[in-house]
Amino acid sequence: MKISVDYLRCEGHGLCVEQAPAVFGLDDDAELINRFEGTDVPGEYVTVARAAVDSCPVAALREQS
Ligand code: SF4
């Protein structure tokens, strides 16, 4: 699975980072980093990546097949 980020929606509070720090990070300007932008999330991180998608309060994260 891949995860797309709607950067216009993201408010940078980092709930997804707390859920899945191996998948997401925040840079020095509190901009979200998707460590697997455009590529498949490794299998060992899929469960936490889905939890991160569900945790986003503004629905900025979307799972793609
Ligand atoms: S939880 Fe949503 S709004 Fe918050 S940093 Fe992650 S993508 Fe952005």
pLDDT at position 45 is 98
Give 17-53 as a DSSP string.
HHH-TTTEEE-TTS-EEETTTTSPPPGGGHHHHHHHH
Beta carbon of 49 within 6 Å of any ligand 1 atom: no
pLDDT at position 13 is 87
What is the CA(4)–ligand 1 centre distance, in A? Answer: 12
Atom of ligand 1 nearest to the CA of 14: 5
Match domain 2-64 to its CATH number in 3.30.70.20, 3.40.50.2300, 3.10.20.30, 3.40.50.620.
3.30.70.20
Strands (E), 1-60: 2-5, 24-26, 32-34
pTM score, whole prediction: 0.93
Per-residue pLDDT of 5-38, as tens digits, reads: 999 999 998 999 999 999 999 999 989 999 999 9
pLDDT over threshold 90, residue 59: yes
